Amino acid sequence: MKVSKKKIGDLGERIAENFLKKKGYRILDRNFFTRLALGPKTGEIDIVAKKNNVISFVEVKTIALNSMDNNLKDSSIPPEEKVNFQKQRKLIKTAQIWLSKNKMPLNKKWQIDVISVKIDLNSKKAEIKHFLNAVSE
């Protein structure tokens, strides 16, 4: 079964969103992105959610397992490890822009979480790991 990385990513985001809702989070935004004037995206946050008066900016990393698709060979690296230093800096900047655009007070409590989703395409099951406050300024 050949499945594109985009479809795998979209599916992972939907799984992560449902996971967060079941954990009592309220979804505030999805796929918020910034860009330079008509240029490419400069940053994106997959999910913005809120629980216990804390805003969580959630980066979702998804991989497909047991796939026959050769484009998805990178499943040996845990998804959460793909949030490198450069990606962390972008997430922080993009989160700060979201807070500003949504007129949140500067002292509003916020954090950046990472949700790792491993999807087994054969069994149609997903393994989800939620790393709270995974990125710090």
Q: What does the alpha-carbon distance between residue 129 and residue 80 come to, in Å, rounded to a whole number?
A: 9
Residues 29-77: tens digit of each pLDDT = 999 998 877 777 788 999 999 999 999 999 999 998 864 544 444 456 7
Does 117 score more than 90 pLDDT? yes
Q: At residue 45, what is the residue type?
A: I
Residues 8-32: tens digit of each pLDDT = 999 999 999 999 999 999 999 999 9
Domain 5-135 CATH (choose: 3.40.1350.10, 2.40.10.10, 3.60.20.10, 3.30.70.1230): 3.40.1350.10
CB 69 within 8 A of CB 20: no
Q: Which residues contact 29 (CB under 8 A, 6 or more apart)?
A: 45, 47, 48, 98
User: Measured at the alpha carbon of residue 80, what is the angle toward residues 79 and 82, in degrees to the nearest 5?
Assistant: 75
Q: What does the alpha-carbon distance between residue 118 and residue 11 come to, in Å, rounded to a whole number?
A: 11
Q: Partners of 130 in the beta sheet?
A: 115
The continuous run of DSSP H or E covering 90 comes out as helix 85-101
Question: Residue ranges of the domains in the chain?
Answer: 5-135
Model pTM score: 0.87
Residue 71 has a pLDDT of 45
Residues 63-115: tens digit of each pLDDT = 988 645 444 444 567 888 888 899 999 999 999 999 999 999 878 899 999 99
Q: What does the alpha-carbon distance between residue 11 and residue 97 come to, in Å, rounded to a whole number?
A: 26
- Residue 135's pLDDT band, with cuts at 50, 70 and 90, is confident
Q: What does the alpha-carbon distance between residue 36 and residue 47 come to, in Å, rounded to a whole number?
A: 21
